[in-house]
Amino acid sequence: MYQFLTGPLLWLSFLIFFIGLIVRVVWYVRGLNWQMDRVPYTKHVSHGVKGALRSIFFWLLPFGTRRWKTRPAMTILFFVFHIGIVITPIFLLAHNIILRERWGISWATLPGPVADILTIGVLVSALFLVLRRVAFSEVRILTSAYDYLLLAITVAPFFTGFLASLKVADYPFWLYAHIISAEIMLIAIPLTKLSHIVLFFMSRGQLGMDYGIKRGGMKGRGLAW
């Protein structure tokens, strides 16, 4: 069972994950319409790239934008949640061992206590994000069962993995639950709104190009649009 879950099924999950995200990026780029957006992305490229990189950088920086500064509690929750989700699975020692066993590759790993702290941070942040959706009407009205399902899919690998790491009763169950839930998340990412892990960069880059060309560096320089 373990060999199948960390072998063929893991391969399939990664294939769907990577190919699906590539397809989503291609669809996004092909969907750009300069007449609608009023930004010809192939012109004034230097201003566009500068604006795109600037937009992405400041949105990846805690309190780097006005929106992050006006909602400090939400900003902290957001960054704790996303940093834990990205850093923990990539640099976890147990995952590194599987990569070395299956594909002969490895890299630096996190100390166990650091990985535990990041995992707990993800779980606690997720709880507060749920409470926020329940408590605030402006968020609750935009939330559906689908959003809670996606959050559950995202958190499940961390919850089950943490229990497995504690060697609680029925360790094989939690180990298999962790692997299966992680592979479900990999498959779900390109097929759901979780694809924002790459589409965030596309949309922020697009908006940055918009400001860098039309409303920023080229503004007032005889642009016809």
pLDDT digits (tens, 9 = 90+) for 95-124: 888 878 777 777 888 888 899 999 999 999
Helices (H), 136-195: 137-140, 145-165, 171-191
Distance (Å, rounded) from C-alpha 205 to C-alpha 41? 11
d(CA 120, CA 166): 13
| Domain membership flag for residue 61 | no
Q: How many domains does the chain have?
A: 1
pLDDT at 55 over 60: yes
- Whether residue 213 is contained in a domain is answered as no
Q: How far apart are CA 155 and CA 152, in angstroms?
A: 5
CATH of the domain at 26: 1.20.950.20
Q: What is the pTM of this model?
A: 0.84
**CA distance linking residue 61 with residue 15, whole number of Å:** 31
The crossing angle, in degrees rounded to 10, of helices 196-210 and 45-60 is 130
CB distance 145 to 87 below 8 Å = no
Give the confidence band of 154 by pLDDT, cuts at 50, 70, 90.
Answer: very high
Name the residue range of residue 140's domain.
2-31+71-205
Residue in 93, 94, 166, 72 with CA at minimum distance from that of residue 123: 166
pLDDT of amino acid 48: 80
In a domain? residue 127:
yes
In a domain, 79, yes or no: yes
Burial classification of residue 172, based on how many CB atoms lie within 10 Å of its CB (0-12 exposed, 13-18 middle, 19 or more buried): exposed
51 within some domain: no
Is 54 contained in some domain? no
Q: What is the dihedral of CA 76, 66, 49, 204, to 10 degrees?
A: 60
17 domain residue, yes or no: yes
Domain assignment present for residue 220? The answer is no
